[in-house]
Amino acid sequence: MADGTQNGIPQRVLALRSMFSKNRTHRELDERFRYLLDRRRTELEAGVIAEARCIALIGASGSGKTTAAEHLFASQPDLVLHDPHGPRLDVASFQVPSPATLKFVGQTVLETLGFELKRDKSAQIIWSMAKGHLEARRTLFLHIDEAQDLMRHQTPRELNAVVSTLKSLLQHKSWPVGLILTGTAELKTLINHDPQLARRVYPIEFARLNILLDSDRILNAITRYADAAGIAVSADILNPEIAARLANAADREFGLMIEMIIASLEDAMKASAEGLSRAHFTSMFRKRTGCVDGLNVFIADDFERIDVRRLLDDGEDT
């Protein structure tokens, strides 16, 4: 069988992609979320209505925000998720639509809750309906992904309206809803736009990889994923230099680093290689960015000077 060695590669890669790696950001997020969830449940049991709170998870694209939020909700044993038509939806999650007008965002909240608007309505009516549906479904948290887009192209007046809508969810008289906002650094501008909102927000910044301090963790991640893939790791890989090059290749973002380890392992599988070697990282980076060798982080001597973000973004566009 000529293609016998190719067998099962997509499945093996899928298995690697479904692994979840934890870092300190995930632990902090989990702790904070658990705290707010327990607090809210205690209040509900006691019949107390108190203001809800907001967690803002901030990181660059590829840091792992969307994955972290999905895993956070899915890993809680006692939450009802992904059930748009059931009686209860503990966490409703959506990505900010485009254009991010207050009206369209409100409509997206309604859709997330399984309600379809039949007729055009004003933003004010839509949001009042959304709040009613959040209460009817007993939704404890609303997760808004790419939340920085809420402020894109907004006039100062529209921005004020967005901020007061978010506050009004937290402060609702009969059914306050907690917020989990995930987004890029611009999200901080949105939050700080209003001190009343800012003081209700617990910010968590996605830790970027530190080339020196995280060296062992990076090498451990390579070993863990290679083990899971059933591929040996060549001796020329497990050293701080490769860790530094990989961190740099991933623009020091955790999620991108994992993505690149998996893609390099996939290359090794396709080549039926004996083990994962530096050449697989080199070809992975070349494929991902389309760059010449002089700009390849796994080849160039002065790899720290390469503007990786530009290469990655350009590579994705093509």
Ligand X SMILES: Nc1ncnc2c1ncn2[C@@H]1O[C@H](COP(=O)(O)OP(=O)(O)O)[C@@H](O)[C@H]1O
Tell me the window of 65-73, 90-98, 150-158, 225-233 that interacts with ligand X (CB under 6 A): 65-73
**Of positions 21, 63, 66, 112, contacts Mg ion by CB under 5 A:** 66
Query: Any idea what DSSP says for residue 139?
Result: -
> CB under 6 A: which stretch of 95-103, 133-141, 169-177, 254-262 binds ligand X?
254-262
Based on CB atoms, which residue is closest to ligand X, 178 or 255?
A: 255
Q: Of the ranges 63-71, 106-114, 188-196, 295-303, which one interacts with Mg ion (CB under 5 A)?
A: 63-71
Distance, CA of 272 to CA of 125 (rounded, Å): 60
Number of residues that bind ligand X (CB under 6 A): 15
> If binding is defined by CB under 6 A, does position 65 make contact with ligand X?
yes
Minimum CB–partner distance for residue 255 and Mg ion (Å): 9
**With binding defined as CB under 6 A, does residue 63 bind ligand X?**
yes
Write the DSSP assignment of 141-209 as a string of letters.
EEEEETGGGGGTT--HHHHHHHHHHHHHHHT-SS---EEEEEE-THHHHHHHT-HHHHTTEEEEEPPPP
Q: Based on CB atoms, which residue is closest to ligand X, 17 or 27?
A: 17
Instruction: Work out which of 106, 176, 178, 255 binds ligand X, going by CB under 6 A.
Output: 255
Interface with Mg ion includes 93 (CB under 5 A)?
A: no
Give 206-251 as a DSSP string.
PPPPPTTTTHHHHHHHHHHHHHHHT-EE-TTTSSHHHHHHHHHHTT
Which of Mg ion, ligand X, none lies near 259, with the C-beta cut-off 5 to 8 A by kind?
Answer: ligand X
* Least distance CB 65 / ligand X (angstroms): 4
- Maximum distance among all Cα pairs of the chain, rounded to whole angstroms: 68
Residue corresponding to tokens 């990076």: 218
State how far the Cα of 285 lies from the Cα of 273, in Å rounded to an integer: 18
Using CB under 6 A, which of the segments 57-65, 125-133, 185-193, 304-312 binds ligand X?
57-65
66 near ligand X, judged by CB under 6 A:
yes
Q: Is 183 in the site for ligand X (CB under 6 A)?
A: no
Among 29, 40, 59, 147, binds ligand X (CB under 6 A): 59
Residue 61 interacts with ligand X (CB under 6 A): yes or no: yes
When CB distances are held under 5 to 8 angstroms depending on the partner's kind, the choice from Mg ion, ligand X, none that residue 113 binds is none
In the three-class reduction of DSSP (H, G, I as helix; E, B as strand; rest coil), residue 91 is classed as strand
Position 178 contacts ligand X (CB under 6 A): no
Give 309's Cβ-side CA count (13 Å radius). Answer: 7
Look-up of token digits 């006039």: 155
- As a whole number of angstroms, the distance between CA 232 and CA 255 comes to 22
Q: What are the C-alpha distances in Å from 65 to residues 17, 37, 144, 189, 273?
A: 15, 19, 11, 18, 33
* Contact footprint for ligand X (CB under 6 A): 17, 19-21, 59, 61-67, 255, 258-259
